[in-house]
Amino acid sequence: MTHAPVLLRLVAGLGNPGAKHAETRHNAGFWFLDRLADKHDIAFTANTRLFGQQARLQYDGEDIRLFKPQTYMNDSGRAVQAVMAYYRILPTELLVVHDEIDLAPGTVRFKQGGGHAGHNGLRDIIECIGSRDFNRLRIGVGHPGDKDQVIDAVLSRPTAMEKKLIDAAIDAALAAMPLILAGEFSKAMTQLHTSEKSESEK
């Protein structure tokens, strides 16, 4: 059986560095990348020149870079731009994994291009790489119900039930990664939507 060619070369998960932030909602992108690395038995190493931690995932004979910026969320673009320049990666070859307050915990969505919708990490990446044409994996962490509480919410820990739902969404996203890496985006979207419906029916 032949596989479709790998179209993505960089998966960047967003978050804030340090133990203080490790369990907060804003670090959902880090949670996903840590789980992806564990699944493939690879480890992250620090790269100060690229302002982050990186790992190399070999998939279908291709090298895919996994990257966690260590510049803090609002400055994510500097690190992502450095990696893209070093490995000569195009915006269309980039997947950014991030927390999404406009999606409920347990929900994960794949999206191609678009704006930043107020997400400071995405905003900085768009400014630094000069393009919106990258792919996003949006992990729902829920909205506090008041826009004035958003910052406190994303910088705090999810409840035990919310974390269970977020972990289930990450499981679904991991299962869809072969399709995403191969550029089978429509199939990945369908699979993610189907898995979400199945989870809600349990």
pLDDT tier at 199, thresholds 50, 70, 90: low
Q: Which pLDDT score is estimated for 79?
A: 98
Per the structure block, which two tokens stand in for 127?
């400014």
Tens digits of residue pLDDT in 48-94: 999 999 999 998 888 999 999 999 999 999 999 999 999 999 999 99
pLDDT tier at 194, thresholds 50, 70, 90: confident
Q: Which pLDDT score is estimated for 132?
A: 96
Tens digits of residue pLDDT in 9-27: 999 999 999 999 999 999 9
Q: Mean of the pLDDT values across residues 124-153?
A: 93
Domain spans, the chain: 10-200
Nearest-CA neighbor of 10 among 59, 66, 74? Answer: 66
Three-state secondary structure call for residue 26: helix
Cβ partners under 8 Å of residue 194, min gap 6: none
Query: Looking at 26, 40, 98, 116, which residue is catalytic?
Result: 26
Q: Which pLDDT score is estimated for 1?
A: 43
Question: Could you confirm whether 3 is annotated as catalytic?
Answer: no
Among the CATH numbers 3.40.50.2020, 3.60.20.10, 3.40.50.1470, 3.90.1580.10, which is that of 10-200?
3.40.50.1470
Could you tell me the maximum CA-CA distance found in the chain, to the nearest angstrom? 52
